[in-house]
A and B are shown apart, each in its own frame.
Chain A
């Protein structure tokens, strides 16, 4: 057991278990938290279930989730299930650990993390594995941390929770999958897309730009969205939004940067122009009409941190 960053936080060691022994592993974790005679109380406010898939290199889509959870629990202490479907896994493996805040003689449990690695054949068993351990009376947020081809699997996980989070940046066929996602929104519980939140500074900058321009309904808007090499899905999402709001005709261009972020958005209509460009941690808005060229405005860019976005998504829900 070790004390981690922040003198008040305490992290237990990992307790390995079989899927059928999860309750015992949780008990062992609590025993470790109270081993020094501390009073231990659960302070969690949500159940959180993340489901992802290990890549061909063995790296799990949920591997980054441990770091994201550190951010998430600052806002929403959680019992968290991190489920990774791994084609290389011969049999299921489970690890349970916890993080607590030391408050004098008592410890408040902020995170009970249950990391589950399963072979693909176990996929149908995930809801049955998770459901008995969800804490009653707390909202359950499901994070689909994967590409999205299998609607049945998605629906099965979605049925576990009150709110589902996806990250459409992971979508490999966004032109098909984004409309599918939109359709999924119309049934069942609420769905939040992290990439939609990530686009907030761009959406806001475009809206600020139109505050300075003279737009009449029905005006034809044309534009270009330039994105990094991994940013097709993000660019498509923004393009769909602008098309739905402006009737805009938009072209997507792949830029030189290797990441998935947007680089630049340019919109033109009736001799007016609006340009939003990423500059460091900000986005820069330029707007001009035939009569006026406004001074550029800087707006804070997306914090982009997965944990903070997850926390925001859960707050919104």
Chain B
């Protein structure tokens, strides 16, 4: 006999207890505990395009527990076989390379449960089915519920999960729920939803998913700031002039006009994605990389942003709608011409907001958040604009301020713009860029954000999920903006489809600053 080839000593344990002598093989990495995942709304696009392909990505990487099952819960009269075929098609079309084989290996673990969301008996049958799966596959009573339904169905599902006892945790068995955005449409509805969730689930059982937080480059904000010594000393109002966060989409509202009329870009993008990214940029270093330590710091950022008074809105925000224009060689509709949009709609397709984080670190550094549809390209980025040097040593040169650019998508990476001497006898300065490309340095195929988030939910790690107080604080700020717009008699500004937004957005920045054109 020789010692362990992995170089680790054998696990010791109490002499009488039954033990797994190889248990460290299961606990040594981020493989989740055995569990059954129940997807409500399993016949919808999200399940086919994102959830199941992401699960198979996890399986490919050996990160799914061996004892694992998926139960699709929906109204349509599908069989297990039909459900599996649909999911296989989804994995083939939307999954990472080589994940079809993973699905084929695991397809027996997929089953379908037909029921109306409001049918209490359907939940009792679900509980029985899950007990059977525990016996057959060893999922140990652990449940993860995923609300992949329209928000209108959340209430009845939450109520039935609570009534049926499926939300209860006991004897080391977990029961968790993943909720998709939108988390309400204002602070009142968000609080009501959170209150309903609380009837069945404690906060540590709840995982509010904002897929932006699952993106590698968003997580890299934490790594960039807190694993390097050079950035954090500069990360404050003494050195940072302002921060621009942009989430731009080139598409219009398309067939989602009816939905978009109810939300607008401020609810659809700024309340969640942009504010989440902003909190990661502005937060203080957490004491540990634990869910509550990180989220405590994020929520402090939101609490440091005052609600807007109605009279401040015109100065601190810009809203606009795209107009008919030639875009990418085609004449595209203006927003008011889109299907499902009212002819006199005031719903904004572009918004820019100046937020002031009123704390010691950021007191004089504004954060500019901008998002819009029908902008020139799909891009998400954070640009940290540093201040000019205090003394201009090179009078003939006019270098632009240094910018640290965090590109979330596409071309994920980090770039630093700085001035450099142009070779030659004169002291001429030109801006150059030092560029780190994520895809080049770490490979082209990165996991989908949902992979990371599903795995974290299975592991019970809420770091990359929004906590109740974060969601409600973000709504508090957004509600004050929406209220100001509603009280204003001015209509939204306009911008040509394919442009970077209305001219009015420029005045938001103030003297000497420009919006980036990423």
Q: Which residues of A contact B (CB under 8 A)?
A: 41, 43, 45, 74-77, 101, 103, 108, 110, 178-179, 182, 185, 193, 196, 200-201, 203-208, 210-212, 214-218, 237, 240-241, 243-247, 281-282, 285, 294-295, 297-300, 303, 311
Contacts and interface: CB of A to CB of B under 8 A. Distances in A.
Given A43-B440, A300-B59, A215 B20 contact: yes
Contacts of A196: 5-6
Contact of B444 (A74, A297, A300): A74
A212 B441 CA distance: 42
Given A74-B444, A101-B440, A300-B102, A215 B3 contact: no
B222 interface: no
Nearest to B17: A216
A196 B7 CA distance: 11
B437 A108 contact: yes
A268 B6 CA distance: 24
A245 to B, nearest CB: 5
A45 B441 CA distance: 7
B5 A178 contact: yes
B60 A300 contact: yes
Given A210-B23, A294-B138, A298-B105, A179 B2 contact: yes
Nearest to B140: A211
Given A74-B443, A182-B2, A294-B138, A207 B25 contact: yes
Contact of B5 (A77, A211, A240): A240
A116 to B, nearest CB: 26
B22 A299 contact: no
Nearest to A109: B440
Contacts of A178: 2, 5
14 contacts: A75-B443, A103-B440, A178-B2, A206-B25, A207-B26, A211-B23, A217-B19, A217-B21, A245-B21, A245-B22, A282-B105, A297-B138, A300-B105, A311-B443
Contact of A285 (B1, B6, B66): B66
Contact of A245 (B4, B137, B442): B4
A100 to B, nearest CB: 10
Given A200-B62, A206-B22, A244-B2, 12 more contacts: A43-B440, A43-B441, A74-B444, A196-B6, A204-B31, A204-B66, A208-B67, A211-B34, A240-B1, A245-B10, A298-B105, A303-B98
Contacts of B102: 300
A182 B8 CA distance: 11
A211 B442 contact: no
A207 B4 contact: no
A247 B1 CA distance: 8
B221 interface: no
Contacts of A245: 4, 10, 21-22
B171 interface: no
Contact of B2 (A204, A240, A297): A240
Given A241-B4, A300-B60, A210 B21 contact: yes
A216 B18 contact: yes
Interface in B1-52: 1-7, 10, 13, 15-26, 31, 34
A244 B4 contact: yes
A77 B436 CA distance: 13
A284 B60 CA distance: 16
A214 B437 CA distance: 50
Contacts of B26: 204, 207-208, 211
Contact of A297 (B13, B21, B137): B137
A215 B21 CA distance: 8
A110 B25 CA distance: 34
B496 interface: no
Nearest to A183: B2
B449 interface: no
Nearest to B445: A74
Contact of A216 (B16, B98, B440, B441): B16
Contacts of A240: 1-2, 5
A47 B137 CA distance: 45
Nearest to A201: B62
B136 interface: yes
In the complex, the 7 A-B pairs of residues with the closest C-beta atoms, listed nearest first: A207-B25, A207-B22, A74-B443, A210-B20, A43-B440, A75-B443, A208-B66
B89 to A, nearest CB: 20
Given A179-B2, A203-B25, A217 B13 contact: yes
A211 B101 contact: no
B253 to A, nearest CB: 31
B416 interface: no
Contacts of B137: 295, 297
A135 B2 CA distance: 38
Nearest to B11: A245
Contacts of B18: 214-216
Contacts of B5: 178, 182, 193, 196, 237, 240-241, 244
A176 to B, nearest CB: 12
Contacts of A216: 15-19
Contacts of A76: 442-443
The CB with the most chain A CB atoms within 10 A, among B17, B18, B23, B102, is that of B18
B419 to A, nearest CB: 18
Contacts of A243: 1-2
A74 B6 CA distance: 26
Contacts of A208: 26, 66-67
Contacts of B6: 196, 241
B22 A217 contact: no
A193 B7 CA distance: 11
A243 to B, nearest CB: 5
Nearest to A209: B22
Given A200-B62, A297-B137, A300-B62, A246 B441 contact: no
A182 B62 CA distance: 26
Contacts of B444: 74
Nearest to A208: B66
Nearest to A8: B444
Given A241-B4, A244-B3, A297-B137, A218 B15 contact: yes
B429 interface: no
Nearest to B34: A211
B1 A244 contact: yes
Contacts of A214: 18
